[in-house]
Amino acid sequence: MSREILKISSLKKNFASPNGSEIEVLRGIDLSINEGESASLRGESGAGKTTFLNIAACLENPTSGEIYWDGARVDNLPNRAQARLRAGYMGFVFQAYCLVPELNALENVLFAARIAKNFNRAAVARAKEILERVGLKDRMAHLPSQMSGGERQRVAIARAILNSPKVIFADEPTGNLDENTGLEVMEMLLGLCSQERAALLLITHNPDFARRAGRRLVLKSGKIFEE
């Protein structure tokens, strides 16, 4: 039986409006994702998809509800403890790549090891091996400005899996790419997560990409539904 990697229970998030009233964005969400499972999340712009992802990663506080990583509750931990756990437990892929412009591809991937305080020879060897797997064997010394959008996103994916995370959060990872490049990156992301046994929570507006995930979820009216 697969292990439960991420569990969200009765999650709510409200924001204050300019007139002082509260706006309910997330209205009691229950969700669990197992080891190695892939799930896509779609919804209208402004529905709260990125807010939900940030709260699940403990980057933002919920109004109420509970968050569990690998069976342990984490939403009630101090920020420093959450950050320490997150560095080794999660990987992130963003639409805008979020690479350090002054670092080359290899150094950008290894930045994840430095954050997790796990920088050593083994991390360097793994970073090189992952970059080879994503087709960037000859681009390791290139700066982000010297790479295409697809290549930059491949670096970001390599960085996300360097620390062998249990779950990867991908927020519109193909949003800045053309259709063909986006498809290549999506297939690579799904393939690497499967090889690494990492769960994947993918936010995407593309229904075709969403269908490639094992589970298809929709965020609507503050609730998450299975498609």
The 10s digit of each residue's pLDDT in 97-140 is: 999 999 999 999 999 999 999 999 999 999 999 999 999 999 99
Question: What is the b/e burial string over 172-205, where b = at least 16 CB atoms within 10 angstroms of the residue's CB?
Answer: bbbebbeeebbbbbbebbbebbeebebbbbbbbe
Token pair, residue 9, equals: 């229970």
Of 115, 35, 22, 107, which Cα lies nearest the Cα of 69?
35
Token pair, residue 38, equals: 């892939």
Residue ranges in the chain assigned as alpha helix (H)? 49-56, 79-89, 105-115, 121-133, 149-161, 179-196, 207-211
Q: Is 21 helix (H, G, I), strand (E, B) or coil?
A: coil
Question: What is the b/e burial string over 67-103, where b = at least 16 CB atoms within 10 angstroms of the residue's CB?
Answer: bbbeeeebbebeeeebeebbbbbbbbbbbebebeeee
Q: Phi, psi at residue 42, to the nearest 5°?
A: -115, 165
pTM (2 d.p.): 0.91
Pairwise CA distance, residues 156 & 134, whole Å? 10
Q: Phi, psi at residue 69, to the nearest 5°?
A: -110, 120
pLDDT of residue 18: 84
pLDDT band at 1 (very low <50, low <70, confident <90, very high): low
What distance, in Å, lies between the first and last C-alpha atoms of the chain? 23
Q: Across the strands, what pairs with 174?
A: none
Express each pLDDT in 161-210 by its tens digit. 999 999 999 999 998 888 899 999 899 999 999 999 999 999 998 899 99
- Cβ atoms 124, 158 nearer than 8 A: no
Place of tokens 């990867």: 168
Q: How many CA atoms lie within 13 A of 20 on its CB side?
A: 0
pLDDT of residue 227: 87
pLDDT of residue 136: 95
Domains delineated in the chain: 4-226 (3.40.50.300)
